[in-house]
Structure 1
């Protein structure tokens, strides 16, 4: 019986996850380190949010407000790093080691410089930014938000270096090394939060100090690995200060549309956060906790959306379009299965999970309702809305995916979310209903694109 099951499993894996470009063993060797990485990132964020909850609802609200702005800004340079990952993956697939090295150094230099500029702007204009976006927040919340925003801006360069190097390592298939670097940074962040927030009761200031030490220490480790331990990318220090325009143009072909998408996409989420602030401190906390828990449920599928960039990038680099199509379909079905399983596994533990955040009793039922809605809808909608565009982008189809995401975000999540939450009086539930509707619309657009031929006709390398 056991041998029969093993043979059936082997046959299924070969049927859906093996092609000319790579087999299922290589794909899952990429996937599992990324999965562990994402589990740690989301899990540690959950622990950090729970720790800051001990400092009160105002502290949670301040961190959540600033993090909504941070996500908007960080994803701009992470998008450029993704462009680097795609170019590195395609050159790796084509077997051109020299161009893999040049693409990696160009990506690190471009992402770091962009992060430095964004961080300096945030530090310089933190006060007007917070007043414009969150002026209706209470004085206590606003004071904590200023401290956290300035500290976040300082840390951007450290995070950018880690993201760029990890992205390049994933592009060549070295997801274990990427995992190790990410774990160093994130585990250090949690340990320092335990010291500064939980033990020394330093609140938001403690979290700010922790994030800076962790990100710059992570950057130092990433650079040390790149120059002293890596035997694949062959990067030298002086290459980081000489970026060929032709290589930068290839990275920006993917990175700039994605960066614009992230700005508009997360700008929409930021605008949504603005009218959530007007609903009160409890509404901010409800949104923060529900989103954190929903992100935890989505970790297995989110790891697929990162893995597929390397898989499809290398398929297209080798000219194996049929492999790319096959793997994309398999990843979409696997994403839905994983989301269904994560909901079934974690929902019975809702009470102890939400208890980590010490929420007021008045909002616990609201958090449950938001999570239940998301858990049901995401099984069908999340993979086509997030995994599929990652695959299209890896093939070079960045402009279409970015424009589609921007339009769906603003037409449905932002406008519909505002109408349902404020004029129709549905509050946070209206915001989450609009979010799930937007996933569905965006997913249908990407499925239509995938059924055609234009998405794999781009000549990136």
Structure 2
């Protein structure tokens, strides 16, 4: 399939149509990916609350790994995008190839480590959980850990196509895989009465297929960026270092963010199975509230990195303001829709009355703070990373995680007797602090002094 670069108008690098064709498929793709988690949690609820809890605990670990691969893919997108902005396609292709091979190699090592430390994850990291929850988590982890390399390859492949301006292909792949995944879940759980395995097996198979399809498409030499067919690969450490210059700070930020979530999760686990289930279901539902912002952030990386590659910082500022406005509008609509559908969604889960009440509280308060604060805390730093200023948001994210999210979580939950909801209040404070710092950084313009490529 022949791909074309996004149009480059004489006045603006991206027209409104370009942005629409880039953002909408990514939003749909990410929405379909989130539906996997929603389908898992709804169908596994048929097995019981302990199964929901076990799956959700492992999904927190998988979210940590997915965030690391997404960060690495972001590094590849920034470097390849900046080279494309300079019309240096050979170097852009080299960045794409190095991204895929490096992501594949690192992910295999991570997969092996996960299996080696599985007892530590189940018995130490998750805190005080029942034997039944631990058994379900163990089963789910045994299957889903195999999918780690395929998650990495899919993220790398999707990043390559987005950098070329083709966000539709990853969307179509995710659509097909979600259909297969949903059918597999339904057949194994409702048809063959499988337990957690009924969710784990389709998840694994769909991730393998998604990676295989997107990497196969990326071998097409007619594309502006393509992967070379060769097992005799030589790592270009100079190029990899450029990718890691963006990917490592973002990966550390994401990794510690999700690690902080896991630390907080051990606190949540101490409040009982209902709190774990509410935290899990609420966490799944609110991901749809932030869906537009998260998805558009991937496309924004492409836009801003291309602007920076051409050396046009005025356009980078123009598109930053415009895209943040788009995120605000999209998230208001999305939150309103989620809140309207919330009673019906919770009825499908069939949780206990306590878990349902806690979930409702989480989702409503999350929506309120999200439509006010979230884009400034999470969309704005995309511009920093795309320009090469990746370390600043990393340090802000790390310090805010420990000083706000973790510290206040224990303070509110235990000392102020707010229970599980106190961990969410701590998260809202974390957003506010980061938003204030990032707005100040953007207005001072220091991010315009950084360069990701020479």
2:177 is equivalent to residue 190 of structure 1: no
- For residue 116 of structure 2, the aligned residue among 124, 148, 166 is 124
1:419 and 1:135 mapped to 2: Cα distance? 18
Moved more, 173-182 or 446-455: 173-182
- Counterpart of 2:445 in structure 1 is 453
2:237 is equivalent to residue 237 of structure 1: no
Cα distance, 1:214 vs structure 2? 1.2
1:110 and 1:154 mapped to 2: Cα distance? 18
2:405 is equivalent to residue 438 of structure 1: no
Cα distance, 1:333 vs structure 2? 2.1
- For residue 281 of structure 1, the aligned residue among 252, 267, 273 is 273
Are the counterparts in 2 of residues 42 and 295 from structure 1 also a CA contact under 8 Å? Answer: yes
- Counterpart of 1:76 in structure 2 is 68
- Counterpart of 2:5 in structure 1 is none
- Label 1:412 to 1:257 Cα distance change in 2 as closer, same or farther (>3 A): same
Q: Given the two structures, how large is their TM-score scaled by the length of structure 1? A: 0.93
Deviations 1:363-409 (Å, cap 9, x if unpaired)?
Answer: 22222221111111111111011111122111111111111111111
Cα distance, 1:33 vs structure 2? 0.6
- Other structure's SS at 1:89 match: helix
Deviations 1:166-221 (Å, cap 9, x if unpaired)?
Answer: 01111121111222233333333222222222322212112222122111111211
- For residue 169 of structure 2, the aligned residue among 157, 173, 177 is 177
2:406 is equivalent to residue 414 of structure 1: yes
Are the counterparts in 2 of residues 20 and 320 from structure 1 also a CA contact under 8 Å? Answer: no
Are the counterparts in 2 of residues 416 and 434 from structure 1 also a CA contact under 8 Å? Answer: yes
- Counterpart of 1:252 in structure 2 is 244
- Label 1:297 to 1:135 Cα distance change in 2 as closer, same or farther (>3 A): closer
- For residue 313 of structure 1, the aligned residue among 292, 305, 309 is 305
- Other structure's SS at 1:305 match: helix
1:456 and 1:190 mapped to 2: Cα distance? 45
- Counterpart of 1:263 in structure 2 is 255
Cα distance, 1:251 vs structure 2? 0.3
Cα distance, 1:420 vs structure 2? 0.6
Cα-Cα RMSD: 1.7
- Label 1:211 to 1:344 Cα distance change in 2 as closer, same or farther (>3 A): closer
Cα distance, 1:230 vs structure 2? 5.5
- For residue 223 of structure 1, the aligned residue among 211, 215, 221 is 215
Deviations 1:64-108 (Å, cap 9, x if unpaired)?
Answer: 111111212332232112111111111121111111110111000
1:99 and 1:284 mapped to 2: Cα distance? 47
Equivalent residue runs for 1:34-433 within 5 Å: 34-228=26-220, 231-238=223-230, 241-433=233-425
Cα distance, 1:240 vs structure 2? 7.4
1:262 and 1:58 mapped to 2: Cα distance? 28
Cα distance, 1:309 vs structure 2? 0.5
Moved more, 300-309 or 274-283: 300-309
Deviations 1:135-166 (Å, cap 9, x if unpaired)?
Answer: 41101110111111122221101111111010
Deviations 1:315-355 (Å, cap 9, x if unpaired)?
Answer: 10111101111111122222222222222233222211112
Moved more, 420-429 or 316-325: 420-429
- Label 1:393 to 1:18 Cα distance change in 2 as closer, same or farther (>3 A): farther
1:56 and 1:388 mapped to 2: Cα distance? 40
1:184 and 1:230 mapped to 2: Cα distance? 24
State the aligned residue count. 445
- Other structure's SS at 1:227 match: coil
2:191 and 2:415 mapped to 1: Cα distance? 44
- Counterpart of 1:13 in structure 2 is none
Cα distance, 1:239 vs structure 2? 7.2
- Other structure's SS at 1:81 match: helix
Q: Given the two structures, how large is their TM-score scaled by the length of structure 2? A: 0.94
Deviations 1:283-337 (Å, cap 9, x if unpaired)?
Answer: 0001111111111122222222111111101110111101111111122222222
2:303 and 2:105 mapped to 1: Cα distance? 28
Are the counterparts in 2 of residues 122 and 150 from structure 1 also a CA contact under 8 Å? Answer: no
- Other structure's SS at 1:356 match: helix
2:271 and 2:325 mapped to 1: Cα distance? 38
Are the counterparts in 1 of residues 58 and 141 from structure 2 also a CA contact under 8 Å? Answer: yes
- Label 1:460 to 1:352 Cα distance change in 2 as closer, same or farther (>3 A): same
- Label 1:34 to 1:240 Cα distance change in 2 as closer, same or farther (>3 A): farther
